[in-house]
Amino acid sequence: MRPPLPLVALLFLPTLAPAAPGPEPGPLLYAARRTTLLSKLPAGAVAILHAPPEGTGDRESYRPDSGFWYLTGFPEPEAVAVLAPGAPEGKRYTLFVRPKDREKERWTGYRAGPDGAKSTYAADEAFPVEEFPKRLGELLRDATSLWYLDGGDAKFRDTLVSGWSRRAALEKGALPLYDLAPTVADMRLVKDGTEIELLRTAVAQTVNAHRAAMRLAQPGNGEWVLAGAMVGTCLSGGAARMAYPPIVGSGPNAVVLHYDASSRVLKPGDMIVNDTACEVGMYAADVTRSYPAGGEFSPQQTAIYEIVLAAQKAAQARAVPGAEMREIYDATVDVIVDGLLKLGLLSGDKAEIVAKRTYRTFYPHGCAHWIGLDVHDAGSYESERLPGDTPQQMRRFAPAHAKLRPGMAFTIEPGIYIPEKAEGVDPKWWNIGARIEDDFLVTPQGVECLSCALPREIVELQKAIQGR
């Protein structure tokens, strides 16, 4: 069991001004998104969206499904939304929600109920969720195609598919059924003004949190102290939750990409990879900084860090409107391979190393992903699959041809990781991990770095860690 969070981890909180709160999306915004969605569907289509039920146990509060939230703004579990553009006026948007229940609300919080679904969330009609099965036939009576978003609830999906299939069996013509997720993902890829402001707020609060953690990156403190500083700053600044479990790895943990135990005590000179971010208004930042405990970089740490920083800057220069995602990744590979060849950590012909991707021994991940309602946000990368790639590797390693356009938000996050006892590697390089990750927004004028107010140059990192 790791020690409890020391009081020192909380003392910094009053010294940081919280980021300005983001805007509150209103019913008109969600209605506009639903209108856009339905304009993409064929005549006669009906769309059914589902919010998954609450999880079991007492560990975490409920977070709405991102796709359902994007189109409805309704925050409660188990809800069902039916969009029927061909229905008469006043019957095109129906919500099925949990009924009011004073006793349950005493324990688990306010419920909108059918009346609130109409008055607050702008549903044309609303009913208790228990009535959904018996009203479904009427809602689908004139539908010629069904589009669904199941919120990851396989049971709901199977029930819906079975019901639609039974109806299709009775019809003379085909009744197609489609997963709505790709269509919604395409909409979510380009952010509107409200989303952009919420992202800015999440990133600004994340920058505050990283600054707080840097001041505590001293030998003798635990990884949990830095994680606690990040969590405390995010929550005290108005974040509802973290965007993902904090990743604070030192020494041998710095080379583990998604290490989240936060249980080791920092030793002098340990390299630290801190990949932690806030979620504000349902929108997630994703920021990483790497630095040694105490702030003094060794020559080997400096060499690796400078390669990663140069790779990120090269990718940032390549990330212009109209550029393909693969070009951003290729820019990082070019710099990292050159750097590792110069240090002798890679050997051989550069073109062959790139073609066979043997650099993945030290740079095993992609360098960019979308951010938004999810930290790895919905949206196509238009990726090609290369020989030998597994489906999981495909998106990260294969060429991604999606072109950057205004409203897209994404990360750039190259990294180098040299584990202990890496084959053929001098021990002086062992346990050096470095990843630098920032959040970017494509604008009509170019690409803006949302998180680059956070130090990333070595001199600036040392000042932040050492309080200079």
Mean of the pLDDT values across residues 441-462?
97
DSSP 282-299: TEE---EEEEETTS---H
Q: Which has the higher per-residue pLDDT, 23 or 466?
A: 466
Mean of the pLDDT values across residues 231-241?
96
pLDDT band at 210 (very low <50, low <70, confident <90, very high): very high
pLDDT for 392: 53
**Checking DSSP bridges between strand 241-242 and strand 145-149, what pairing results, if any?**
unpaired
pLDDT single digits (tens) 159-205: 898 888 888 887 767 789 999 999 999 999 999 999 999 999 999 99
Q: Is the pLDDT of residue 63 over 50?
A: yes
Classify 126 as helix, strand or coil: strand
pLDDT single digits (tens) 8-43: 444 444 344 556 666 778 899 999 999 999 999 999
Mean of the pLDDT values across residues 329-352?
98
Asked whether the beta carbons of 97 and 113 are under 8 A apart, the reply is yes
Phi, psi of 296 (to 5 degrees): -95, 115
pLDDT for 338: 98
| Closest listed residue to residue 273, CA positions, set 259, 284, 261 | 259
Element (H, E) at 352: helix 350-356
Q: Is the pLDDT of residue 147 over 90?
A: yes
pLDDT for 171: 77
Which of the residue ranges 34-48, 74-88, 255-269, 375-389 would you say has the lowest mean pLDDT? Answer: 375-389
Phi, psi of 118 (to 5 degrees): -85, -45
Helix H segments across 125-277?
A: 132-139, 154-170, 181-189, 193-215, 223-236
162-200 b/e (C-beta count within 10 Å ≥ 16 → b): eebeeeeeeeeeebeeeebbebbbebbbebeebbbbbbb
> How far is residue 388's CA from residue 225's CA, in Å, rounded to a whole number?
41
Mean of per-residue pLDDT scores for the chain: 91
Q: Is the pLDDT of residue 369 over 70?
A: yes
> How far is residue 121's CA from residue 71's CA, in Å, rounded to a whole number?
11
Q: Which has the higher per-residue pLDDT, 391 or 122?
A: 122
pLDDT for 468: 75
pLDDT single digits (tens) 64-117: 999 999 999 999 999 999 999 988 889 999 999 999 999 999 998 999 999 999
Phi-psi region of 393 (alpha: psi -120 to 50; beta: other; left: phi over 0): alpha
What six digits make up the tokens of 67? 């796709």
Domains of the chain: residue spans and CATH: 40-188 (3.40.350.10), 190-466 (3.90.230.10)
